[in-house]
Amino acid sequence: MTTQYDVPGEHLVGALANTLKSDDAISPPDWSNFVKTAVHKEKAPTQPDWWYYRTASVLRKIGVNGPIGTERLAKHYSGSRDRGSKPNRSLGGSRKILRSIMQQLEIAGFIVKSKQGGRGLTPKGQSILDNTAFAVKKNLQKEMSSLSKY
């Protein structure tokens, strides 16, 4: 059985974003065209479907790092902020974006609030991750025949 750990993350996130585009519960809010994804960024994302890629990435991170909240997820999307002549410091990503994404994933039934804090995967969320990973692995094996022995 193929799981999310068996395929590279960048391939899984791309395929998962395409899968999530067909779900009605996942849609970018009106303000997503104008917002920066973190304090250390200078501009808003230029990719038109960046919301789906971030949603796929968050779903994968929840699957890998188990019940996790917005504070720890913001650290995964952090970066170095330019503070002029002062030394740079690391600042987290936008927690509003992460909260909105997690609320949409919860409405879609992919994640659920955990008793320990944060949110964890539901069986439906684990299923979509595993099914997408299986499809990605199949495509990668087709592209690179040397991987077929695995």
- The pLDDT value recorded for residue 64 is 92
Q: How far apart are CA 13 and CA 143, in angstroms?
A: 18
Q: How far apart are CA 100 and CA 47, in angstroms?
A: 19
- The crossing angle, in degrees rounded to 10, of helices 95-108 and 50-65 is 80
The tens-digit pLDDT sequence of the chain (150 residues) is 888 888 999 999 999 999 999 988 999 999 998 899 988 888 888 888 999 999 999 999 999 998 999 999 999 999 999 889 999 999 899 999 999 999 999 999 999 999 988 899 999 999 999 999 999 999 988 888 765 565
- The pLDDT value recorded for residue 149 is 61
- The pLDDT value recorded for residue 119 is 93
Contacting residues for 62 by C-beta, under 8 A, at least 6 apart: 68, 73, 105, 111, 119, 120, 121, 125
Domains of the chain (ranges; CATH) run: 4-144 (1.10.10.10)
Q: How far apart are CA 141 and CA 136, in angstroms?
A: 9
Helix (H) or strand (E) holding 49: none
- The pLDDT value recorded for residue 148 is 59
Q: How many CB atoms lie within 10 A of CB 1?
A: 6
Specify the pairing of strand 79-81 against strand 89-91: antiparallel
- The pLDDT value recorded for residue 116 is 87
- The pLDDT value recorded for residue 143 is 81
pTM (2 decimals)? 0.90
